[in-house]
Amino acid sequence: MEGVLDHSLRDVITRVGGIDRCVSEFIRITDQLLPNRVFTRLMPELLNGSRTPAGVPVRAQLLGSDPACLAENAARLARLGPAGIDLNFGCPAKTVNRHRGGAVLLDEPELVHDIVAAVRRAVPAGMPVSAKMRLGHRDEERMLDCAHAIADGGAEELVVHARTKLHGYRPPAYWDRIAHIRAAVAIPVVANGEVWNAQDAQRCLAESGCNALMLGRGLVADPGLALVLRGEQAPAWEEMRPLLALYARLIAPRVAPRHCGGRIKQWLNLLRRRFEGAERLYERVRTLHALADIERVLLEDQREALAA
């Protein structure tokens, strides 16, 4: 979830609880060996034992199409101690696909295999290598070929987003297709896509046959969803409100002022799927752009809640 679920939001959401592991935004690998400072800038958890401040481990995700260059960068990254290396074969963004990254590689299962195998050889044997794929690029014709390529290349785990690149993020997700992949490979398969609530999660697990989920937009919209899936109590809006203010403080020093307000509104726009309070707050900040103005409204909202 490039541009949304960065390390600041990982910090905030993992404080809510219920999450076993996170994956970083993708780190794009083209034709050069990246310096350590790029890895730590995009994934500052590397400076904290590869864990969020709440203690949740984070795997570093790489995206690219050159096996040798990906392997070289994975080896350097591995020395920084991530909780694992994840490979992105699922991004549907046109710009990424145009440069031979993400879901477009699912048309080339041989290359997918070579990438996974090269990265697996390049990092220590004890460091997990995982991958994420969609059901295909334009169709599902090579779905099982790609799953086999990932497993045969040495990945220990495969996450499957249950749509093709052509489907984008349009509902529905085809969870039953994941069952075919799960039956075809010997490695653990994790289901992903269109899980917004506990009912979706139950159906996804039943149709896919998986026993684990990766949550994306559903968790950003409802940070308590992982807790609910564990049978625990989800936080109310009153508990979420301070986390929104924390998020604003975390992004302010590193995000250009003209973008800060957009980031906050972007998260609020998803939160309002779950919380009425977020809906009301979104309407109050929707037309604001300056971070100072938005922070003022956030503070007023907290004061009004305390006075109520």
Question: Which residue among the candidates 91, 146, 204, 210 is catalytic per the annotation?
Answer: 91
- Look at residue 1 and tell me whether its pLDDT is greater than 60: no
> Span 100-108, mean pLDDT?
95
3-state secondary structure of 149: helix
Of the pLDDT bands very low, low, confident and very high (cuts 50, 70, 90), residue 3 is low
Q: Which long-range contacts (CB under 8 A, 24 or more apart) does 279-284 make?
A: 281/244
Write out the CATH class of domain 237-307. Answer: mainly alpha
Task: Kindly provide the residue ranges of all beta strands, DSSP E only, lying in the chain, ordered along the sequence.
Answer: 22-28, 58-63, 85-89, 129-134, 157-161, 189-192, 213-214
34-56: per-residue pLDDT in tens?
999 999 999 999 999 999 999 99
Residue with tokens 């879901």: 103
- For the question of residue 91 being annotated catalytic, the response is yes
pLDDT, position 2:
55
Measured CA to CA, the distance from residue 239 to residue 223 in angstroms comes to 11
262-283: per-residue pLDDT in tens?
999 999 999 999 999 999 999 9
Tokens of 226: 């992982």
**Neighbouring C-beta atoms of residue 188, cutoff 10 Å:** 15
The domains of the chain are located at 7-229, 237-307
The CATH number of 7-229, from 3.40.50.720, 1.10.1660.10, 3.20.20.70, 3.40.50.300, is: 3.20.20.70
213-234: per-residue pLDDT in tens?
999 999 999 999 999 999 999 9
pLDDT, position 302:
86
- Look at residue 304 and tell me whether its pLDDT is greater than 90: no
The whole-chain average pLDDT of the chain stands at: 95
65-93: per-residue pLDDT in tens?
999 999 999 999 999 999 999 999 999 99
pLDDT, position 44:
97
Which of 160, 166, 164, 28 is closest to 100 using CA atoms?
Answer: 28
